[in-house]
Each structure stands twice: as C-alpha cells, then as structure tokens.
Chain A
C-alpha cells in the first residue's frame, strides 16, 4: 500500500530573488521578494499563507521574524534546523501539516545576503570545543578530510573532483540566472589556489546572495492553480553525526538511509529518476551522494562523474542549474535544488531543460555531511 503522504501534497508556486548580488538588501528583504514571486506564480496572496517553514543563519527565531516581516499570522510554524538540508526537510513537515489540516497553504522560504554583506559564512553555530584547538577551517576542512579519505580508499583523483566543477559550469552556461558562467576547464580547477588539501578554491561552492520560496498545498487543490502541479512523492531524512570526528565512515554519508526512505515512500527506484539535484557545497559532495543514492557503486563515483557523464549531454543530468558550484549558494542552498527540480518537472528550464522529465530527485546536505534529506518529486504522470 502506498505511503499516506505519497503524492498527498503538491508544489504550486516557486520564486527566486536576489540570486547573485542583491545590493542594499537584508536577508528578509530577499526572502520576501522570493515569496512575492512564488505567490505571483501560484496566483495567491500573502494572506492565504497559514503555514511557515523556514530556516536562517541570521535570525535566532526565524519563524517569528519571517512571519512578522511578511505581516502574516500562521497557524503552523516549523523551523527544523538541519543546516542547508533544512528546506528539503521542510517538504516532509509541510506535507504532514497539510495532510492533517494544520495548515492549508504552506510557504517554505529562505533569504540571505551573504555575498554583499561581506562574504563571510554567517553562522550562529556554537564552537565545536573538541575541534577548535586545531583550527580547522569550517566547513571546508571537514569536506577536505572526507575527500582525502575517499581518494585514499578508492583512488579518486583531483581530476575527477575537477570534472564535477566543470560539469556544473557547463550547466550554468545554459542557465541565464547562474552567477558563474565563464569558461572553466579541468586545468583551471586543478590550478586554482589550494585551500585545504585536496580542496582548492574552485572545488568550493560560490558565495552569493539569494532567496527562494516554495508554496505547497494539498493535492486535492493542486489543479486549481495556474501552473502544472509538481507532487511530493517522498522525502526521507537521516543524520548520523554533527561534527566530522563523529562521522562513522568518511566515505559514506547518511544519504544511504535518506535515499532509501525517500524511494520507499515514493514507491520508485533510481531507474525512474530523470533529473538529479544534489547539494554540491564542494566537489566531493556530488561524488559521495551519487554513490550513496545508488546511481553508482561505492568507490566508483569518481569514474562516474569523469569525462562529462553528468554534464549536458551525459548519461545522467546532475545539478542542471549549475549547482552551488556555479549557479547560486547563499550560505544554505537546499531550497534552490528544490526549485530547480520543480522547474525541470514543469518544463520551464529553457536551454537546460531535460526533455520529458517526470521524476526528479533532490538531495539536501547539512552541517559537515551530517544531515541528508532526499526528496522525490514527480508530475501527474507518475502520481
């Protein structure tokens, strides 16, 4: 029997704002503009929203700050904080709230001015007292340690890591809204400044501004809106650690579990997936998640991403907006992979559109490979 939440809710509006540089804007200004765009997309008004799902690196009580700014009084508020994966996790919580009638119109939203505010990663995170004496660069060094171990165990190379960045850039070149669209070669990545071996500057995501908003309603109502509904078929969450010393095996992430849970709820397998959107904070992420979600076997991720296999024209379209590496990455990126997946399923992606996309997989990452949240989205054809 199908899971009670499978296809029970649908996305009927999405909006982006301030992606790249949004000079003179505060985080909530950008969030509100993305919300405005999502409301327009759905043909709704602010007063229709009665459920808020948000996260922030700027506001200690983001649900309160967001609702106050927008001038709405939500019946239901959820600020589950699992880092950049939060917004993907919010799809599950929103689906539960919609199914149980706790709210009728759910808004998942985020905004950040990380780039124009100075480029430093905003965080309210407490210091990790058992790591601080060694001065790791947060979060880069944690990902570097994972990459180094993957290279040691499986022979993954810096060239293969570079190919992840090159593929992302090739997608970005097809996306007029991507921030980094210049030519990028494998050699450019290899020759970029080393930061924390083996992660160099161009193995790292962008630092941009940006905001995103997603509006969800129950599936019964989904066809009453102007845009083609995109159904939430499944979301799975998993977390195994907070700090990198506690990660059981640096080469295997909790996406092994989140992916299984999402596919089980959706009643689908990896072979049903037409387009894949992974949280690529660093090049190693894409390799780890492709393995852990079952698109290739453990240890073969490096070979899988090489030579354009995940680039435009390759066998599996991955990170079609250009990813956090080349499109947008304002501190937390989870909402942007959701939006790209939704737009692919609607057929709105222009030159980067994957023809005939019916099923999309999104994998959000939070902390230092700590939280993994996988969502499977689909069109009416797979409902």
Chain B
C-alpha cells in the first residue's frame, strides 16, 4: 500500500473534464497503454483496464450515431433533439444538435462541438459541420 491522501489532492476525472470545458476546450482521458479514448471520464481505461491515462484535447468533430425528437408542446418550449454522437476520436456521448430543427437531424450527419457555459456549469452541444 502506497496510497496516501496527498495523492488525491488533484482534481478527479469529472472535475478535470469540467475544468477543460470552462476553458472552452473539449478533452477526454486517453489510455497510454492501448491509445483509446473513453467517455465519460474515469480513472481507468474501460477498454483495456489500464490506470495509465493522459488527457487529450479533441477536434470537436463527430457524427450522429442515433437521434430522437422528443415531442413537447409549443407552450412548453416545443420539440427538441437528443442524440448520440460518435466523436472522431472514438468515444460516444449523449448530446443535442442545435442550429437545425430537431426533426431534421439524421444519423450520419457530420457535427462540430460547441461548449455551453451556464455560469460555470458546462455541457457540450453540437451544430452541423459546415463543409468548406
């Protein structure tokens, strides 16, 4: 046993993820052993079991893996999108596509991430990727 309380003085994975988001950056843990990234952030690689991880800043690009329109009355804010996005770097996360009607989001759509910061409480949404 070498663990001491001082080894826990740094932020855990969830807080680190949030701290990156607060700097308008999307980052996730990457396994140094198997090179795979994972979402949601953990202290262990769920792909290979290694505890040897580093943080990697992502491109923010991804693709709709599945999508649903949640029906809501107009007076309560109207329909909205919930989707699963596969990031270009591999992991999949739940999110929402903004910038087009919820019903128009389709599986396979290419996306780019945008970070929403509500007084320090951050989450990631996506908008359609504009091809140049």
Contact = CB atoms under 8 A, between A and B. Distances in A.
Interface string A185-198: 00000000111111
Interface in B26-72: 39-40, 65-71
Contact of B70 (A130, A131, A137, A245): A137
A309 B123 CA distance: 45
A136 B107 contact: no
Interface string B69-85: 11100000000101110
A196 B107 contact: no
Main secondary structure of the interface of B (DSSP, over half): strand
Contacts, number: 68
B68 A197 contact: yes
Contacts of A152: 66, 107-108
A141 B95 CA distance: 12
By size class, the interface of chain A is 20 to 34
A38 interface: no
Interface stretch (A57-65, A142-150, A259-267): A142-150
Interface residues of B, number: 23
B7 to A, nearest CB: 24
A250 interface: yes
Given A130-B40, A245-B39, A245-B92, A148 B67 contact: yes
A136 B40 contact: no
A199 B94 CA distance: 18
A196 B92 contact: no
B95 A148 contact: no
B27 to A, nearest CB: 14
Nearest to B17: A130
B62 to A, nearest CB: 13
Contacts of A193: 71
Main secondary structure of the interface of A (DSSP, over half): mixed
B112 interface: no
Contact of B84 (A133, A198, A199, A244): A244
Contacts of A149: 65-66, 107
B67 to A, nearest CB: 6
A134 B94 CA distance: 7
Nearest to B96: A134
A135 interface: yes
Interface string B87-105: 0000011111000000100
Contacts of A131: 94
A196 B68 contact: yes
Contacts of B65: 149, 250
A133 B82 CA distance: 10
B66 A136 contact: no
A238 B83 CA distance: 26
B80 A144 contact: no
Contacts of B66: 145-146, 148-149, 152, 250
7 contacts: A134-B94, A136-B70, A145-B68, A152-B107, A194-B71, A197-B103, A245-B93
Interface of B: 14, 39-40, 65-71, 80, 82-84, 92-96, 103, 107-108, 123
